[in-house]
Amino acid sequence: MDVTSIESKKNLINISIDDISPHPLSSFECIKVCEDIIKIYPDIKFTLYIPMGYWRKFDDKNLTTKTEKPLYLHEDPDLCKKLLNLPESNFELCYHGVYHSDSKTNNDEFRNLSYKDACSRFEKMFDIAKKSNLYDRMKKIFRPPNFTMSPEAIRAAYDMKIEQIALSDHERIKKEYEESYAIFGENVSWFNVMYPWKEYKLYEKTSIIFHSCSWSKNYLDNDNAELLLDFLNECNNIEFCFANKIVDNLVVE
């Protein structure tokens, strides 16, 4: 047995944060926590999935989070500048839709879209990225809000030149894709950790998700950062990577 080749095969880890936006309760604030983590793991990689016009249309339980209109990224030049100034060795920017919400929920923007409507939504997403001066920095990697996406919207994503799609293997959600993600070949990414709903565990390709929403149990605050660090400290033979290396990683348990 060739021991050296086994040892050199590292377990890949990518960490993503969803929903950084102009919303005061889902803001750039969590990047401070990332900066503390970078001091301990200078090679760590964060993928930020950014909605272009975050719009919560409904309040959460006991908390006012809704806004009267969409919070477009280009209307917050200060946030755009902060995103642009993030070090490229530790942060990449990817797409997370326009509004995040549909007419019934805060989360399912792409769940029921027709092919045609999904194409125009992607066009709008790219337009706002251009208006925000972020287009050249954005990677053509897409995670639908709440991971929900109609088969037609998945085909539209492919035709609109999205190069990689990040989905969920949750039984109900995955069923709704009707395997249309096969059009992306290997370039489909499945997350494996979203504490407390999906526990920490090391895989060959581990995708760990956090949120910038301060009301979420999965918010990247100091407590959740501590749990992440406890996990990373116990992992052997790991390498941090950006999202493009976490593909073709559906684990059937």
108 counts as binding Zn ion under rule CB under 5 A: no
18 counts as binding Zn ion under rule CB under 5 A: yes
Among 19, 76, 92, 108, binds Zn ion (CB under 5 A): 19
Q: Confirm if 49 and 19 have CB atoms less than 8 A apart.
A: yes
The helix or strand, by DSSP H or E, that contains position 92, with its residue range, turns out to be: strand 91-95
x/- string (CB under 5 A) for Zn ion, residues 126-145?
A: -------------------x
Q: How many residues does the chain have?
A: 253
102 counts as binding Zn ion under rule CB under 5 A: no
Kindly provide the residue ranges of all beta strands, DSSP E only, lying in 161-229, ordered along the sequence: 164-167, 188-190, 205-211
* Distance (Å, whole) CA 135 – CA 137: 5
Structure-token pair, residue 47: 């993928």
Task: Please give the distance of CA 239 from its chain centroid, rounded to a whole number.
Answer: 19
Find the shortest distance in angstroms from Cβ 211 to Zn ion. 7
22 counts as binding Zn ion under rule CB under 5 A: no
Q: Which stretch binds Zn ion (CB under 5 A): 2-10, 14-22, 83-91, 233-241?
A: 14-22
Q: Which stretch binds Zn ion (CB under 5 A): 15-23, 54-62, 200-208, 237-245?
A: 15-23
**Closest CB to Zn ion belongs to which residue?**
18
Find the shortest distance in angstroms from Cβ 49 to Zn ion. 7
CA nearest 11: which of 244, 201, 210?
A: 201
Q: Confirm if 240 and 45 have CB atoms less than 8 A apart.
A: yes
Binding residues (CB under 5 A) for Zn ion: these are 18-19, 145
